[in-house]
Chain A
Amino acid sequence: KAGVTQTPRYLIKTRGQQVTLSCSPISGHRSVSWYQQTPGQGLQFLFEYFSETQRNKGNFPGRFSGRQFSNSRSEMNVSTLELGDSALYLCASSPEGRSGANVLTFGAGSRLTVL
């Protein structure tokens, strides 16, 4: 069973640009969550999607957005990039919605550098 796949793995952008990151969950997983990981702030929850709907949202500005497609693949977009957006963006998928037995399976991440 293929794991969670994130693309691109590395990218460099400049301030003011926008970026789109992609996540393909494990086959059959319908929930996709996104996290920002930085040395200073650790793992910060961005949002969670289930059945193409954003179900949970963290405390990030509106520049951070996402969506989920009917095949459960998800994208996140960051507009008007700032230096502080440099981070590893992690995607995680889980099988079902809200069962207590669900666990998150993480991708390798997309490392974004903003210059």
Chain B
Amino acid sequence: AQRVTQPEKLLSVFKGAPVELKCNYSYSGSPELFWYVQYSRQRLQLLLRHISRESIKGFTADLNKGETSFHLKKPFAQEEDSAMYYCALRRYNNNDMRFGAGTRLTVKP
């Protein structure tokens, strides 16, 4: 079975500082990895996915199959990045998506 671990429940950084939200997974097959974000009073929404290899709102994430990680990074955090971030894994060719426990990021001014 697939499993997603986000070791940090809370993460606090100052505006302009780099931020890294950690995500590790366990799955024996080919995973699809995602980051979802939930801003205050908003719906859970997709931030980015590994197959797109894109940068969204300055965030990037690289799938490291050797370390089974999909850490989310941003070089310069902004106050509007404060939100709850969830890492998620979906088995290839399957719509069963599993989420990590989430990391609450707070960017202080």
Indicate which residue in B94, B99, B100, B102 contacts A98 across the interface (CB closer than 8 Å): B94
- Selected A-B contacts with CB under 8 Å, 6 pairs: A41-B101, A45-B96, A100-B93, A103-B34, A104-B46, A108-B43
- Inter-chain contacts of B43 with A (CB < 8 A): 3, 106-109
Check if A103 sits within 8 Å of B49, measured CB to CB.
Answer: yes
Q: Specify the chain B residue showing the minimal Cβ separation from A49.
A: B95
Asked if A2 is at the interface (CB within 8 A of a chain B CB), the reply is no
- Inter-chain contacts of B94 with A (CB < 8 A): 56, 98
Indicate which residue in B34, B92, B100 contacts A42 across the interface (CB closer than 8 Å): B100
Interface residues of B (CB under 8 A from A): 32, 34, 36, 43-46, 49, 51, 86, 92-102
Total contacting residues, chain A, CB less than 8 A: 27
- Convert A1-44 into 0s and 1s, putting 1 for each residue whose CB lies closer than 8 angstroms to a CB of B: 00100000000000000000000000000010101000001110
**Which residue among B43, B93, B94 has the maximum number of chain A CB atoms within 10 Å of its CB?**
B43
Check if B44 sits within 8 Å of A90, measured CB to CB.
Answer: yes
Tell me the bound Cα distance from A103 to B37 in angstroms: 13
**Which residue among B32, B34, B97, B101 has the maximum number of chain A CB atoms within 10 Å of its CB?**
B97
What distance in Å separates the Cβ of B99 from its nearest Cβ neighbour in chain A? 4
Check if A31 sits within 8 Å of B95, measured CB to CB.
Answer: yes
Check if B95 sits within 8 Å of A33, measured CB to CB.
Answer: yes
- Inter-chain contacts of B96 with A (CB < 8 A): 45, 48, 56
Interface residues of A (CB under 8 A from B): 3, 31, 33, 35, 41-43, 45, 48, 50, 55-56, 90, 92, 94, 97-98, 100-109
What distance in Å separates the Cβ of A82 from its nearest Cβ neighbour in chain B? 22
Tell me the bound Cα distance from A66 to B65 in angstroms: 35
Tell me the bound Cα distance from A107 to B46 in angstroms: 12
In the complex with contacts A56-B94, A106-B45, A108-B43, A100-B51 CB distance below 8 A: yes
Tell me the bound Cα distance from A95 to B44 in angstroms: 17
Check if A43 sits within 8 Å of B46, measured CB to CB.
Answer: no
Q: Specify the chain A residue showing the minimal Cβ separation from B1.
A: A59
- Inter-chain contacts of B51 with A (CB < 8 A): 100-101
Tell me the bound Cα distance from A107 to B45 in angstroms: 9
Q: Specify the chain A residue showing the minimal Cβ separation from B45.
A: A106
